[in-house]
Amino acid sequence: MLFDDTFQTLAEPIEGQFRDRGSRFLAFAYPIRTETDAKKLLDALRHEHPKANHHCYAYRLGLDKNQYRASDDGEPNGSAGRPILNTIYGHDQPGKPFTNVLVVVVRYFGGTLLGVPGLINAYKMATADALANARMENRTVNESYRIRFGFEQMNAVMRIVKESQVTVLNQSFDTQCAIDIEVRKTAAVSVTDRFANVRGVNVEWVN
């Protein structure tokens, strides 16, 4: 069986909400690539909603279910982060996981305790409301590499970049030239071999 390196994720950020007995649960869903992306987005929401009682969240990365994090942020254990995460998992399709996603649910307390079952339902429903309105897109699992070379290799390197249709993330043409590229995982070996076969070109795996 060929390695399937495709997955579904959000095409753009989306919001949802849920209300129960005065409490407001505002859901914010984002496509992400790394844990650092998740942290930056979470910090931004905490800055935007400083008076909220809780900023509960879950994110998932990669093709399996082993790279994730869920936080109850002060709510009873298992009543917030896990329901958010399970709702993300619930959007998997056969052979195509729904991943590289962060969902943060911001709660403004309404004065009435909801109990653990009520909280589980609220965080699940807020997340589901956001994802129900989301536009999905297919993406591939990619790897990043740094290509280092001298000016004399410029033409050969840029020809491979064009012919291989890789994505250029960053580039620098100072004393020592370097470009950061992103390439589909299933094509990574053949593409990086082309670069490495050019004399004076160094290929370094980034992630």
pLDDT at 203: 96
pTM: 0.82
DSSP code for 95: T
The pLDDT value recorded for residue 65 is: 83
pLDDT value at residue 2? 41
Structure tokens at 92: 């998997």
Element (H or E) spanning 128, and its range?
helix 115-132
Phi-psi region of 61 (alpha: psi -120 to 50; beta: other; left: phi over 0): beta
Q: Supply the pLDDT for residue 111.
A: 94
Token pair belonging to 99: 């991943």
Model pLDDT, residue 94: 87
Place of tokens 């962060």: 102
CB 108 within 8 A of CB 53: yes
Is the CB of residue 104 less than 8 Å from the CB of residue 27?
yes
| SS3 (DSSP) at 173 | strand
- For residues 163 and 155, is the Cβ–Cβ distance under 8 A? no
Segments in the chain below pLDDT 50: 1-3
Task: Report the C-alpha gap between 91 and 85 in whole angstroms.
Answer: 10
Task: Work out whether strand 142-149 and strand 202-205 pair parallel, antiparallel, or are unpaired.
Answer: antiparallel
pLDDT number for residue 5: 79
Determine the Cα–Cα distance for residues 32 and 30; give it in Å rounded to an integer: 6
pLDDT at res. 92: 93
Nearby residues of 160 by Cβ (< 8 Å), 6 or more positions away: 191, 194, 195, 198
Cβ atoms within 10 Å of 29's Cβ, excluding its own:
26
> Is beta strand 68-71 parallel, antiparallel or unpaired with respect to 54-60?
antiparallel
